[in-house]
Amino acid sequence: MDLGEGLRQALAKLQKASIIDAKTIKEFNKDLQKSLLSADVEVSLVFELTKRIEDKALKSKPPAGVAPRDYITNIVYEELIALVGKSYEPKFGKKRILLMGLYGSGKTTTAAKLAKYYQDRGLSAGVICCDVSRPAAYEQLETLAKQANVSFFGKKGSKEAASIVKEGMDALKDKQIIICDTSGRSGLDAALIDELKKVAAVFKPDDSILVINADIGQVAGRQATEFNKAVRISGVVVTKMDGSGKGGGALSATNAAKAQVMFVGVGEKLSNIEPYNSEKFIGGLLGIPDIGGLVANVQNAIKEAQINPEDMEIERLNFNTFYSQLKAMGKMGPLKNVFGMMGAPDMPKDVIEKGEEKLEKYKSIIGSMTSEERDDDKIVHNPSRIKRIAKGSGRTEKEVHELLSDFNKMKKMFGMVKNDRGLRKRFSKFMQ
């Protein structure tokens, strides 16, 4: 059971309790402690948190008109936000960013992600490869920079990190955002500290950021403390937050170490990085819908899939527009994340897997249709066409019939939307 599921189950049990008294609160806190400890949150932090929740729940009264259960849920929400630290709002302007981290932290990928993040928001960006210890670091960052469409500088084979950064700054002097990717180690040793200090002396970073993998859990706090003592850090980027069961432990530990979490990596794609938002993180764990995130995700997906928003208009629903929608869905990332943003994080695994399988199946079937068939779904019902489409897509005729059935259901639904002017207006605004 992951942290979010445990928290939601504990709160659901609290909501069902007939009486909210000291015994109910203590039982709730036990469930909460189990969930947090399983997510590798430090023991002392867990007990401090649950003690505060118990004190507030039993020693204060809900405001007029607020049910005790809702009042306690809000206390839990606020205390969990305090546990994982305040949100971060990036400033958009010219800056130099120095990235540090140990092996396996995701530092090089983060360099490209951050460069793309700022460039997508109107700031020209470039990356410098100063990782002189890891084989293939140069090739990896060069490839990622091309994928992100940002500038790259490095000196293949050179072992002088400070010299590389000096030349890189000259080469990228016209860029507003310059990100330096440094060497890693299996541990923070004297050689790494010396190298980082030399690079920092030349680079003069505005932000010195430690990159940490969420999988290390509460060890993140010790790493942040050690790096801060050695070379001073501005904050932390936590990677792999989408797939780690120890993300809560990593966030709470860095907060306890007084290190600001600045960004989080939420997927493998270069666009999957975002400023850290503690309310959004805790809201996601508790099953609170993230409508703003969902809208942004849809817009990014449409952009990445290179779809003209006009092609998504409800007036023109055919297999072309349906295919565009399927492409956009594929760019939104795992369906589990999409359902989470919709406030349905506990959607059964088999439903999600079947949904993802169906998306891929339908894309391949539509890909085997002619332009005429995509434009006019009525002619696809011809048995000979169904047979040809099935053969061309490597699917069965039954699966083609399944697509046609689902498509017809969608057409009926869109017909209802078309006749509802208010809903239609909101839909068009949303897609734009």
Return d(Cα 58, Cα 81) in angstroms, integer. Answer: 20
Helices and strands: H and E segment counts in the chain: 19, 8
Statement: residue 100 has pLDDT above 90: yes
**Per-residue pLDDT at 3:** 83
In the prediction, which pLDDT does 296 show? Answer: 54
Are residues 416 and 422 in contact, defined by beta-carbon separation less than 8 angstroms? no
Q: In terms of Cα–Cα distance, which of 219, 264, 220 is closest to 239?
A: 264
Q: What whole-number distance in Å separates Cα of residue 387 and Cα of residue 138?
A: 50
Q: Which helix (H) or strand (E) holds 148?
A: helix 137-148
Q: Which residues pair with 235 in a beta bridge?
A: 209
All structural domains of the chain, each given as residue ranges with its CATH number in brackets, are: 3-84 (1.20.120.140), 95-281 (3.40.50.300), 291-431 (1.10.260.30)
Strand, coil or helix: 322: helix
Q: Indicate the average pLDDT of the chain.
A: 84
Q: Which is more confident, 315 or 285? A: 285
Mean pLDDT along residues 113-132: 96
Q: Mean pLDDT throughout 199-216? A: 96
430 pLDDT band (50/70/90 cuts)? very low
Distance, in Å, from the CA atom of 192 to the CA atom of 172, rounded to the nearest integer, reads: 25
Match 């369906």 to its residue by tokens.
335
Q: What is the pLDDT of residue 97?
A: 97
Mode of pairing for the β-strands spanning 273-275 and 261-265: antiparallel
Across the range 118-146, mean pLDDT stands at 95
CB-based contact 97:207 (threshold 8 Å): yes
**Measured CA angle at 351 (ends 349, 354), to 5 deg:** 110
pLDDT tens, position by position, 32-74 = 999 999 999 999 999 999 999 999 988 888 887 778 888 888 8
Given the DSSP bridges, would you call strands 177-182 and 261-265 parallel, antiparallel or unpaired?
unpaired
Joined together, the tokens standing for residue 363 give 């894309």
Q: Residue 15 has what pLDDT?
A: 80
pLDDT score, position 319: 80
pLDDT at 353: 58
Please report, to the nearest 10 degrees, the dihedral formed by the alpha carbons of residues 118, 112, 432, 366 taken in order: 170
E strands present in 33-133: 95-100, 125-130
% of residues, the chain, pLDDT over 90: 52
State the chain's maximal CA–CA distance in angstroms. Answer: 74
